Amino acid sequence: MNFIKNVDVVVVGGGITGTAILRELSKYSLKCILVEKEPDLALGTTKANSAIIHSGFDAPFGSQKALTNVRGNRLYHELQGQLGLDIKWLGSLVVAVNDEEMETLKDLLVRGIKNGVKNLEILDKEATLAKEPNLKKDIKGALWAPSAGVCWPFDIALSFARCAVQNGAEVLTNCTVNKILTEGDKVLGVDTSMGSIKAKYVINAAGLSADKIAATAGDNSFTIHPRKGEYILFDKTASEFLVKGIVFPTPTKTSKGILICTTVHGNTFIGPNAHDQEDKDNKATTSMGMEEIIASSRNLIENVPLGAAITEFSGLRAVSNTGDFIIQEGTVKGLIHAAGIQSPGLSAAPAIAEEVVELIRTLETGLLLKRNFKAIVAKRKVFSELKIDEQSKLCSENTLYGRIVCRCETVTEGEIVDAIHETCGAKTLDGVKRRTRAGMGRCQGGFCGPKVTQILARELGIPVTEVLKEGSASKMFFAKKEAGEETK
Amino acid sequence: MQELEYDIVIIGGGPAGLSAAYSAYENGARSILIIERDFELGGILQQCIHNGFGLHHFKEELTGPGYAQRCIELIANKPEIVTMVDTMVLDISTEKKIIAVSPKEGLMKITGKTIILTMGCRERTRGAIRIPGERPAGIFTAGAAQRMVNMVGYLPGQKIVILGSGDIGLIMARRMSLEGCKVQAVLEICPFSNGLTRNIVQCLQDYEIPLLLAHTITEIHGKDRLTGITVSKVDENMRPIAGTEFDIECDTLLLSVGLIPENELSRGLHLKMHPLTNGPIVNQRRTTSLPGIYAAGNVVHVHDLVDFVSDEAEIAGKFAALEVQGKVCDALRRTEVKTGEGIRTCVPQILDIPAEGEAVRLFMRVGAPERKVKLEILSDGQVILNKLLPVAKPSEMIAVDISAEKTKLMGCELTVRLSRGV
Amino acid sequence: MTMEKLTMNCITCPVGCEMTVTVEDGVVINVEGNSCPRGKKYAEVEVVAPKRMLTSTVAITGGLLPLLPVVSQEPLPKNKILACAQELRKVSVEAPIAAGQVICGNILGLGVNIIAARAIDKE
């Protein structure tokens, strides 16, 4: 068999789980590669979720979810500085609207304490309204969890990947795993759209496809089914009419409920709902779903400013049939699953990574930590966050920082060019959007879209007609027609 | 970092900004700066290559670039009018201190004795109207597509559906047909069209493009690239009627679903804003709620005719110029302009009239299409002016002049309303 | 003798007057609803041989922009508009171009020039 690469570990899947694992692996003297089927990292569930680092009272005591959530929450405090992550530790409220729900809050408090969550507190109505004055006046109280935060998941996954790459790991995008190769009762590697990769260990962090990937090695120990969650995102000017932090309703048996929550950049959103579906590719938002989210948010806030909605999107949770995370060896030696990572997957990712690597350490004796692990990832220059004299200095160093391309979010051409050329850089319009926020503002790329497209074409050395929005078949523009070339 | 000062700083070098600068100069101002974010002056007109501009203002039918050229010529070769292109204003403080940045000059601190806001408007997006479905490539606002087609040189797609029968959508229906694309339909959620009648004729009827009134898009299909849309009829509340769905195959969707004033800087200044126009509240001199800060053009309320934009901007330019020369008297009597039956918006919302009176032009829009109605203007309950309107449409702004003489007798409140059954 | 009444909107100016046009044997004998004489003239032409202005773009090399907006100096026969637009796709000019400069003279032999709608300087 011809192998294009020979490594120690292949991580399948470039979402928050896969990238966290890759970073953890890159601390050790292991040759690692991450393969991602899409043109960019984190285009699955990591791209479309509530962006919350939960405190950890939700999951049942003793579950993988609970353990990794609480540990992950603590790890993010360290990682924030090292990787320059945007995280705001705003704390979360679970709001009760009747006495029965107040009882549920007490259960959550008890569970949270057992799970190891610090500083949980039940607040009465006045204290709750003091924190969130726009809540309806007939609420009863809330569970306050100060250790919860909001973050930017795509940027975290990207920072994990960039940290791994600066420590010798490799990342391959546009690389689909067709099957896991086995030899006898152990893994041999993976067969991908780019060729076969030989590996001692295969980490299955393939999100929605994790069961499909496992099955290619004859491992049918779990199934994953998608559960859709839809969101409505509001303009920053609407935030003062909504919430300042993270507001949950009291949870039901199936779902944490439909939140009203801020983002780390100052927007607010409502969502997600929770509906199971068969199709792992269907990410369409639905009118019923949006009505459901709006109605639910009106249980907590009187006037939801729908006129200020700027976009709607949905994400698919990868729900395992066991109901918990699946972090364990597969039925084939060397295959390790990190699957079924739905909420609190984002919060738990650094801890999940530790557990996966711990599994490898028990199997691979004599594994050494690198002495020169570069933990620090330089924070990206964000023009709009700099003081005026820093902005001025930046412009004099490089005139491209003097041209504002995205007016709504104040993003400069310099930052867009940086985002294209950085490690694991942007290759698509949405890739630029996710790295720089260009196109995330109220005009949703109406003004900057054509400009960013032209910058991508210039920087990548490709024609404008080849620039993609996101997926590999998402070309945006076409050459003008020759005479006689009409579309019927 | 450069620190500059001008008597009048104009934010935006499109037709409003250019007309304001010209008028300011004609009225004696000699220290004027125009800041423009695009690489050249002319604003949105440069991409509006169709004709229909200038019949009132220049007494000639011009293309958009032609109108822009006329405005640019009026301010050219005057060293007292400085222009900065490729320059973005980042912030304006209530003390009229502007922070602007350009690749050429870096960051600049610019103070204006007066400021005229002429930033124009932007397009409403898919997100604002919440169309359900996938989020593939191939969905553009009509204006963004217009820029690509007319100035950068690329087509947004081949089989096109246009949502919204406003003028931008209609113009693009024709433009795409001329470029060899197939425009499948124009969809409009209202039971009436929102563009100029002339555009229905010369953009849709001429090209046999169906106009589906009282229809909307209920789902968007396509993963990476648009493959089609599901369309439904809507009822009188603009809600989709179950059972009326049908699909239209297309790879491109152009959205022409409304324009909103570019109000970032206006909101940043905490100017009093009008909830229906989404622009700052102004008086007849186009002064906003902050003295010394004026606003004119699409940034105040979205216009249909650029000729009216120039008229409005010339007023702002004139009074900014008079203000910096100390030629404006303080003794003004305030009248609030209220909208009554049938009138949705009216600009200016405030009149500050001097003792000798001041001719005023009111720009208004009706809320729904009307036929054979009488427009009435009442001062403290008494009709001071009326005008017969054989036809009135929300998409066609109505201009009404009130003579200086009449303004002398106005009370505290002016009401603009329609009287039906004439 | 065939007489018919047509309803049409004048497109000469943005008002778009709705007119009732009486046509007898293919000739306009009465026009009502127009607010100015241009409406009558429009109706007379529209019934017999409708005309339209053409605005489009042509490729331009060496200029500040890759496209030059162009406009017909006079209206063209409506049924030739698409053919003229197609013809313009073959045209490429070089900067600098002056506003009003003839870009395509006597397009398709119809006796109308296509001229530059703006000036474009050299890059």
Classify residue B406 as left (phi > 0), alpha (psi -120 to 50) or beta.
alpha
Choose, from A54, A225, A275, A337, the residue flagged as catalytic: A54
Q: Are residues A334 and A415 in the same domain?
A: no
Q: Are residues A236 and A278 in the same domain?
A: yes
Q: Are residues A242 and A289 in the same domain?
A: yes
Q: Are C79 and C59 in contact (CB under 8 A)?
A: no
A neighbours by CB contacts (3+ pairs under 8 Å): B, C
Residue A351 lies in a domain: yes
**pLDDT at residue C74 is higher than 70:** yes
Contact: B182, A488; criterion CB under 8 Å: yes
Contact: B177, C82; criterion CB under 8 Å: yes
pLDDT, tens digit, 9 for 90 and up, residues A412-470: 999 999 999 999 999 999 999 999 999 999 999 999 999 999 999 999 999 999 999 99
Residues across chain B: 422
Using CA atoms, how far apart are residues A442 and B126, in angstroms rounded to an integer?
11
**pLDDT at residue A327 is higher than 70:** yes
Q: What residues of chain B lie within 8 A of the CB of C71, using their CB?
A: 49, 51, 63, 66
**pLDDT at residue B398 is higher than 80:** yes
Identity of the residue in A307, A400, A474 whose CB atom sits nearest the CB atom of B103: A400
**pLDDT at residue A231 is higher than 70:** yes
**Site of tokens 């009048």:** B8
Interface ipTM > 0.85: yes
Chain A: closest CA distance from residue C83 (Å): 9
Q: What residues of chain A lie within 8 A of the CB of C104, using their CB?
A: none
Output the CA–CA distances (angstroms, integers) from residue B358 to B352, B353, B354, B401, in the order listed: 9, 6, 7, 11
Contact: B122, A403; criterion CB under 8 Å: no
**pLDDT at residue A138 is higher than 90:** yes
pLDDT, tens digit, 9 for 90 and up, residues B40-70: 999 999 999 999 999 999 999 999 999 999 9
Contact: C99, B201; criterion CB under 8 Å: no
Task: Name which of B89, B80, B7, B74 is nearest B42 in CA terms.
Answer: B74
pLDDT, tens digit, 9 for 90 and up, residues A364-418: 888 889 999 999 998 888 999 999 999 999 999 999 999 999 999 999 999 999 9
Q: What residues of chain B lie within 8 A of the CB of A404, using their CB?
A: 37, 88, 90, 101
Average pLDDT for B298-305: 95
Residue A402, chain B, CB below 8 Å: the answer is yes
CATH superfamily of C55-116: CPE0013-like (3.10.530.10)
User: Of A300, A334, A363, which residue sits at a domain end?
Assistant: A363
Q: Are residues B21 and B31 in the same domain?
A: yes
Contact: C86, B180; criterion CB under 8 Å: yes
User: Of B285, B305, B328, which residue sits at a domain end?
Assistant: B328
| pLDDT score recorded for residue C113 | 98
Residue A483, chain C, CB below 8 Å: the answer is yes
Q: Are A429 and A387 in contact (CB under 8 A)?
A: no
Task: Show the tokens assigned to A300.
Answer: 């907590």
Using CA atoms, how far apart are residues B304 and A107, in angstroms rounded to an integer?
60
pLDDT, tens digit, 9 for 90 and up, residues A156-165: 999 999 999 9
Question: Which residues, numbered 228 to 287 in chain A, qualify as contacts with chain B under a Cβ-Cβ cut-off of 8 Å?
Answer: 232-233, 237, 281-287
Q: What residues of chain A lie within 8 A of the CB of B123, using their CB?
A: 443, 446
If you ran DSSP here, which 8-state letter would residue A470 be given? S
Task: Show the tokens assigned to B115.
Answer: 């400021």
Contact: C85, B179; criterion CB under 8 Å: yes
Q: How many domains does chain B have?
A: 3
Using CA atoms, how far apart are residues B211 and A487, in angstroms rounded to an integer?
19
Residue A166 lies in a domain: yes
Using CA atoms, how far apart are residues A167 and A31, in angstroms rounded to an integer?
10
Q: Are residues A169 and A98 in the same domain?
A: no
**pLDDT at residue B390 is higher than 90:** no
As a whole number of Å, the end-to-end CA separation of chain C is 63
Q: Are residues B248 and B131 in the same domain?
A: yes
Q: Are residues A144 and A230 in the same domain?
A: yes
If you ran DSSP here, which 8-state letter would residue A60 be given? P
Question: What is the CA B322 to chain-centroid distance, rounded?
Answer: 25
Radius of gyration of chain A (CA): 23
Using CA atoms, how far apart are residues A154 and A133, in angstroms rounded to an integer?
31
Q: Are residues A231 and A216 in the same domain?
A: no
Residue C66, chain A, CB below 8 Å: the answer is no
Residue C92, chain A, CB below 8 Å: the answer is no
Q: Are residues A329 and A358 in the same domain?
A: yes
Q: What residues of chain C lie within 8 A of the CB of B64, using their CB?
A: 69
Contact: C69, B196; criterion CB under 8 Å: no
Residue A472 lies in a domain: no
Residue C89, chain A, CB below 8 Å: the answer is yes
Task: Show the tokens assigned to B193.
Answer: 């069209």
As a whole number of Å, the end-to-end CA separation of chain B is 64
Average pLDDT for B369-387: 93
Q: Are residues B129 and B235 in the same domain?
A: yes
The structural domains of chain C, with segments of one domain joined by +, span 3-48, 55-116
Q: How many domains does chain A have?
A: 3
Q: What residues of chain C lie within 8 A of the CB of B49, using their CB?
A: 55-57, 69, 71, 117
Q: Write the DSSP string, A112-167.
A: HHHHT--S-EEEEHHHHHHH-TTB-TT--EEEEETT-EEE-HHHHHHHHHHHHHHT
Chain C: closest CA distance from residue A466 (Å): 18
Average pLDDT for B65-90: 97
Give the CA diameter of chain A: 74
**What SS3 class is residue C92?**
strand
**pLDDT at residue B238 is higher than 80:** yes
Q: Is the peptide bond before A146 cis (omega within 30 degrees of 0)?
A: no
Contact: A310, B125; criterion CB under 8 Å: yes
Using CA atoms, how far apart are residues A442 and B121, in angstroms rounded to an integer?
12
User: Is beta strand A224-234 parallel, antiparallel or unpaired with respect to A309-320?
Assistant: antiparallel
**pLDDT at residue B126 is higher than 80:** yes
CATH code of the domain in which B347 resides: 2.60.40
Average pLDDT for A335-352: 96
User: Of B257, B285, B306, which residue sits at a domain end?
Assistant: B257
Average pLDDT for B349-362: 95
Q: Are residues A230 and A219 in the same domain?
A: no
Nearest chain C residue to A484 by CA: give it: C86
Q: Are residues B114 and B1 in the same domain?
A: yes
Nearest chain A residue to C86 by CA: give it: A483
Q: Are residues A308 and A240 in the same domain?
A: yes
Residue A64 lies in a domain: no
Write out the residue range of the structural domain in which residue A457 sits.
383-466
The whole-chain average pLDDT of chain B stands at: 95
Q: Are A439 and A432 in contact (CB under 8 A)?
A: yes
Question: Which residues, numbered 22 to 51 in chain B, qualify as contacts with chain A under a Cβ-Cβ cut-off of 8 Å?
Answer: 37
Using CA atoms, how far apart are residues A160 and A339, in angstroms rounded to an integer?
18
Average pLDDT for A220-238: 95
Q: What residues of chain A lie within 8 A of the CB of B153, using their CB?
A: 480
| Most B-contacting residue of C7, C10, C11 (CB-CB within 10 A), to test interface | C11
**pLDDT at residue A192 is higher than 70:** yes
Q: Are residues B92 and B4 in the same domain?
A: yes
CATH code of the domain in which B220 resides: 3.50.50.60
Contact: C86, B305; criterion CB under 8 Å: no
Question: Which residues, numbered 16 to 55 in chain A, qualify as contacts with chain B under a Cβ-Cβ cut-off of 8 Å?
Answer: none
Residue B138, chain A, CB below 8 Å: the answer is yes
Q: Are residues A275 and A391 in the same domain?
A: no
Kindly report the backbone phi and psi dihedral angles of residue B69, in degrees, each rounded to the nearest multiple of 5, phi listed first: -60, -45
Q: Are residues A312 and A230 in the same domain?
A: yes
Average pLDDT for C38-64: 95
How many contacts, defined by CB atoms under 8 Å, are there between B and C?
Answer: 83
Whether A54 is a known active-site residue: answer: yes
Q: Is the peptide bond before B348 cis (omega within 30 degrees of 0)?
A: yes
Using CA atoms, how far apart are residues B216 and B245, in angstroms rounded to an integer?
10
pLDDT, tens digit, 9 for 90 and up, residues C5-16: 999 999 988 778
Q: What residues of chain A lie within 8 A of the CB of C89, using their CB?
A: 480-483
- β-strand partners of C92: C59
Q: What residues of chain A lie within 8 A of the CB of C86, using their CB?
A: 483-484
Kindly report the backbone phi and psi dihedral angles of residue B160, in degrees, each rounded to the nearest multiple of 5, phi listed first: -120, 140
Chain C: closest CA distance from residue A468 (Å): 22
Q: Are residues B70 and B110 in the same domain?
A: yes
User: Of B200, B225, B257, which residue sits at a domain end?
Assistant: B257
Residue A474 lies in a domain: no
Q: Are residues B130 and B246 in the same domain?
A: yes
**Site of tokens 């209609």:** B170
**pLDDT at residue B422 is higher than 70:** no
Residue A368 lies in a domain: no
Chain B: closest CA distance from residue A141 (Å): 33
Q: What angle do CA C44, C45, C46 make, to 5 degrees?
A: 95
Q: Are A387 and A399 in contact (CB under 8 A)?
A: no
Classify residue B198 as left (phi > 0), alpha (psi -120 to 50) or beta.
alpha
Residue A377 lies in a domain: no
| Most A-contacting residue of C86, C90, C92, C108 (CB-CB within 10 A), to test interface | C86
Q: Which pLDDT band, with edges at 50, 70 and 90, does A472 fall under?
A: confident
Average pLDDT for A111-139: 96
How many contacts, defined by CB atoms under 8 Å, are there between A and B?
Answer: 152
Sheet holding B360-366, edge to edge: B343-347, B360-366, B398-402
Average pLDDT for B317-327: 97
Q: Are A187 and A332 in contact (CB under 8 A)?
A: yes
Write out the residue range of the structural domain in which residue B222 sits.
125-257
Contact: B133, A468; criterion CB under 8 Å: no
Q: What residues of chain A lie within 8 A of the CB of C90, using their CB?
A: 483
Contact: B197, C9; criterion CB under 8 Å: yes
Contact: B104, A410; criterion CB under 8 Å: no
Contact: A310, B105; criterion CB under 8 Å: no
Identity of the residue in A404, A470, A476 whose CB atom sits nearest the CB atom of B88: A404
CB atoms within 10 A of CB C123: 10
**pLDDT at residue A488 is higher than 90:** no
Using CA atoms, how far apart are residues B292 and B290, in angstroms rounded to an integer?
6
pLDDT, tens digit, 9 for 90 and up, residues C96-105: 999 999 999 9
* Burial class of residue B275 in the structure, from the number of CB atoms within 10 Å of its CB (0-12 exposed, 13-18 middle, 19+ buried): exposed
What stretch of H or E contains A431?
helix A429-436
Q: What angle do CA A290, A296, A299 make, to 5 degrees?
A: 150
| pLDDT score recorded for residue A487 | 81
Average pLDDT for B160-181: 97
Output the CA–CA distances (angstroms, integers) from residue A488 to A259, B159, B226, B254, B303, in the order listed: 47, 8, 17, 18, 35
Q: Are residues B207 and B289 in the same domain?
A: no
Using CA atoms, how far apart are residues A287 and B232, in angstroms rounded to an integer?
13
Nearest chain B residue to C69 by CA: give it: B49
| pLDDT score recorded for residue B326 | 96
Does the C3-48 domain belong in CATH 1.25.40? no
Residues across chain C: 123
Type of residue at C26: G
CATH code of the domain in which A279 resides: 3.30.9.10
**What SS3 class is residue A341?**
coil
